[in-house]
Chains A and B, each alone.
Chain A
Amino acid sequence: MNPPNEDMKHIDEFLKTALRREEAPPGFAEGILARVEQQPTVKPKEEHVPWFHLFSRPLVRWAAFATVFASLIAGSIHYRNVRREQAKGEAAKQQLMLALHIAGSKLQLARSKVNGIQTSQPDHERETNRSRSKS
């Protein structure tokens, strides 16, 4: 029996010999080249550019900035106008409420006067009757 190291050495040699490179079959390379030529030319894939890469251009970046700035200004002006209209509406509402309140109190006063006249009417009639009888 051979020592293990000797065995391993032998096995290494056997394996290297058994697994030595073999020549490819004749016409192998030519076959591949023929197949390559038969293949349709593949267009290089168009690179997928993410949408935000648009902003890498300075002009686009400035245009976007200007658009955002203009939108902010327009929005603030619009908001101020709306607030102004709302304030006007509030004031008008207050005036109307005041007017209604005054009108209501006037009406109340008029009603109380009318009621006072109606309650004093019998005494007056009594007075006239008395004067008629004296004459």
Chain B
Amino acid sequence: MAERYSATEQGENPGLGFADIVRQHQAMVFSIAQHFLTDRSAAEELAQDVFLQLHATLPTLKSEDHVKFWLRKVTAHRCIDYQRRRRVSQISLEDAPEQVASTHSGDLFLEKRVRQLIATLPEKPRMVVILRYQEDMSPEDIAVALAMPLATVKSHLQRSLAMLREKMTRTIGEVVI
């Protein structure tokens, strides 16, 4: 789609083009916020705010790719800002009661545990990991979206993965890794 999204596109039938965009990208925006904040209601509210901002910005966006990139970028920045403002005590594996892996609910337990581990990462590395593994973005694209040097993105990824591996090894053990 080469043409810009214009405000007049919504003139006769308000929200038609915009509604399609919302339905197309709602899972992406909500998931980024949900994985980052680990708070479903906060993630929903933040995702709604992102789409409201998109509604105001839509006429300036040139293509679908541009919209997608804009959504990822704005969601990431809003999540980081929200987290900084909130400053809630993060889930700490050291503080959390030690859970024992059970064989019958292994997958669910593992997913939950990995998310808890990701939630312990600092804000920017956490967002880098989410964009890398949820959105399958390249380090170059992440660097552009988060406005940080490529070397920093790679460094965040390496350190985060090393930390996650260490913690996963420690908490879950050789059974799963």
Question: Interface residues, chain A, CB within 8 Å of chain B?
Answer: 1-2, 7-8, 10-12, 14-25, 28-29, 31-33, 35-37, 39, 42, 44
Contact = CB atoms under 8 A, between A and B. Distances in A.
B143 interface: no
A108 to B, nearest CB: 96
A33 B22 contact: yes
Contacts of A1: 174
B78 interface: no
Nearest to B41: A25
A33 B34 CA distance: 21
Contact of B52 (A12, A18, A22, A36): A36
Contact of A29 (B23, B55, B56, B168): B23
Closest 4 CB pairs of A and B: A18-B114, A24-B26, A19-B134, A24-B30
Contacts, number: 96
A15 B114 contact: yes
A36 B55 contact: yes
Contacts of B56: 42
A87 to B, nearest CB: 68
A32 B51 contact: yes
B174 to A, nearest CB: 7
A72 to B, nearest CB: 47
A19 B177 contact: no
B27 A36 contact: no
A21 B47 contact: no
B137 to A, nearest CB: 12
A12 B110 CA distance: 13
Nearest to B30: A24
Contacts of B52: 32, 35-36, 39
Given A14-B114, A24-B47, A29 B26 contact: yes
A21 B169 CA distance: 25
